Structures are given as structure tokens and as C-alpha cells.
Amino acid sequence: MLKWLFGPLPDWFQQQHPVQRYALQPYAASNSRSARIVRIAFSVLLLSTLVIAGYTVASHVMNNPPAGLHIAEVVFRILYYPLIALQTITWVLALAMSINVLDAERRRQTWDNLRATSTGADMVVRVGWLAVLHRLRGLWLVMTAARLILLIGVLYRLMSHRGDYLAYLTATVQPDVPLGIALFLLVSLLVAAFMLPFMLLGLSTALGLWLSALFRPRAVTAIFQFILTAFYVALALILFLIVQSQVIHDMPPAQNFGLLTGYSLLVDWGALWFDLGSTGDIWAQIPYSVLMGPILLLAVLLLAWLIDRLLKAAVHHAEIRD
């Protein structure tokens, strides 16, 4: 599917590439039938736990029983907070796993042999990035399933009110936009919200590989891992508390817009926009927030560029420091 979307893939992305086979060899046993059954059972258990936890949050913590809401909003409130928690856990795990990729090769005393060829370091770093995503495939598949459910809810809600729901959402948008442009902006917003988790997951993995190449001692990388994780969690918590409080209503429009962008990128990774009720309220209350879709799409492209730059920097530091 990736080849159909993006054309010919790089050599290191091909399954028959020897470096990729070497990197993914430790996980080959997980393709057995029993391993697949265990993964499916774990995914079902995890998804059930998230649904139960989400329903508890929606009905008790938020003090708003889902029974009186639209079915799409009920589903959103059930999945929203568990999805945020799952995305944060996945981000932290990706950082922790990627920091150990190059160090694992050094401990196995295979790093010098892999680095001896002209493209050895580049292959190890890029395939290491792919291997971390491979190890976390169960978690991001659950994240994808949850987002697909939310997207179905969005489509279902758009068809309500005889198809006039989007016109209702954009009735008080600042500035006023035609219905066709509003539909384009909504589609771009949903596309960006769907892609953000995977871009941020790739960024976390690339950041870990860069740190692993930049600082060889394990104690130093462990310190940086702790600092980055603590900083991310603290910043996300601060943004979450500000958005949930009444302070946001007293801020100027420009600060509100910036805060909303940071919240979408750091806290919920765009999941908020799958609730059309919240989206309509934001469009009405914050001027120019209807343009958030193109801005988040631009952020997705910027994240893709940053991932590539971090991987290249990791290769450079791995070559000159070892």
C-alpha cells in the first residue's frame, strides 16, 4: 500500500533488505500462530479496558452521563481520555526503545562491522527507527482503530439534520467562509488529526536515535531520556489544565489560537477535533480557528522534515563519534 501511495520505496524499507532482516530477526518468532492469538487477545483486552475506563470518565468524572448525548459524542467521550493516555504511553515507549538501539549493537559487538560499509551506519539508524515502530505496532494499531471509530462518528454526525449540520457549525464562524471552503477546511483538519499521532511517534523514535548517537554513555542518555519525558509530561499537563480551566476565556484571541495549536500538537495529538460539537464551539469562539486544518497539515509536513533531519544527524554523529 505504501508503494502504491508514495511510489518506489527506499532500499532500506524493503523487507528483503539484509539489514532490515537482521534488525527484525528478534521479532520473527512473533509471527507464529500462537503469538498472533496472544497479540489479538491483548489488543481486545486493552481496547476493552480503555472503553470501560473512558465510560467511567465520561459518566462520573465529567459529571455528564452519556445517555443524554448524541451517539457520536458518547463514543468520543468514552474514547477521548484513554486515547490521550495511550498516545502518551506510546510516545514515552518509543523514546525509551530508540535510545537503546545503537547501544544494543555496541553490546553485541556488531556495530563496527555494520559501520564498516559506506552506508552501514545509515542503514542501522533508519532500520532501527523502523524496528521500534514495528515493536510498537500493537499500540498504534489500537490508536488507529480508535481514530477510525471516531471518524465514523464524525461522518455519521455530518449526515444528521438532513445533511445541514456543517452549515449549522459554520453559522457563527469568524471569519465567515462559504460552505464549500468550510468542508475543505474540515477535511484537512480531520486528515491532520488522523496523521499527527504517527508523525509524533516517528519524531519520538528519531529523537531517541539522535540522542543515542550523540551521547555514547548509557548514563547520559538515561538522564536525557528522563529530562525529555518529564518536560513533555509537565508541558502537556500544564496545557491540559489551562485549556480545561476558565483562564482560556480571558486570554486575547492570538494567545487562544497559539494555545489551541500547542494543545493539538502536544496533549491530545488532534483527537479533540473528532468531536464536531467541540470543533463548532472553538470555531465560533476563537477567531480564525477555522484555519486550524491547514496549519496542522503544515505541522505534519514539518514533523516529517524534522524526522528526516534527526535521522541524518544521528547517522552523522554515529559515524564521527564511534
Q: What region does 293 belong to: left with phi over 0, alpha with psi -120 to 50, or beta? A: alpha
For residue 6, the model assigns a pLDDT of: 43
Each residue's pLDDT tens digit, 158-207: 887 666 778 778 777 877 888 888 889 999 999 999 999 989 999 999 99
Q: Is residue 145 part of a domain?
A: no
- Give the number of domains in the chain: 1
For residue 243, the model assigns a pLDDT of: 77
Please state the pTM of the whole predicted model: 0.79
HSE at residue 266, side-chain half, CA atoms within 13 A, is 19
Which range (60-64, 184-188, 194-198, 276-280) has the least confidence? 60-64
Question: Do residues 263 and 236 touch, judged by C-beta distance below 8 A?
Answer: no
- What is d(CA 280, CA 170) in angstroms, rounded to the nearest whole number? 7
Query: In the chain, where does DSSP find H-type helix?
Result: 2-6, 18-24, 33-56, 71-99, 101-107, 111-115, 120-135, 137-158, 165-169, 179-214, 218-244, 253-266, 276-285, 292-321
Question: Do residues 85 and 240 touch, judged by C-beta distance below 8 A?
Answer: no
Q: Is residue 224 part of a domain?
A: yes
Q: Is residue 63 part of a domain?
A: no
Q: How confident is the model at residue 14 (pLDDT cuts 50, 70, 90)?
A: low
- What is d(CA 106, CA 109) in angstroms, rounded to the nearest whole number? 5
- What is d(CA 165, CA 277) in angstroms, rounded to the nearest whole number? 10
Q: Is residue 299 part of a domain?
A: yes
Give me the domain span that covers residue 113.
81-135+172-321
Q: Give me the DSSP letters along 22-53.
A: HHHGGGGGGGSHHHHHHHHHHHHHHHHHHHHH
- What is d(CA 43, CA 49) in angstroms, rounded to the nearest whole number? 10
277 CB-near residues (< 8 Å, 6+ apart): 70, 73
- What is d(CA 253, CA 256) in angstroms, rounded to the nearest whole number? 5
Mean pLDDT, rounded, for 279-292: 85
Q: Is residue 102 part of a domain?
A: yes
- 64 has pLDDT over 90: no
Amino acid of residue 319 = E
Which range (21-30, 164-173, 234-243) has the least confidence? 21-30
Q: Is residue 241 part of a domain?
A: yes
- Give whole-number Cα distances, 40 to 30, 89, 142, 298, 300, in Å: 12, 19, 11, 35, 30
Mean pLDDT, rounded, for 35-43: 70
Q: Give me the DSSP letters along 143-166.
A: HHHHHHHHHHHHHHHHTSGGGTHH
Each residue's pLDDT tens digit, 88-107: 888 988 988 888 777 766 66
Q: Is residue 141 part of a domain?
A: no
85 CB-near residues (< 8 Å, 6+ apart): none
Q: Is residue 88 part of a domain?
A: yes
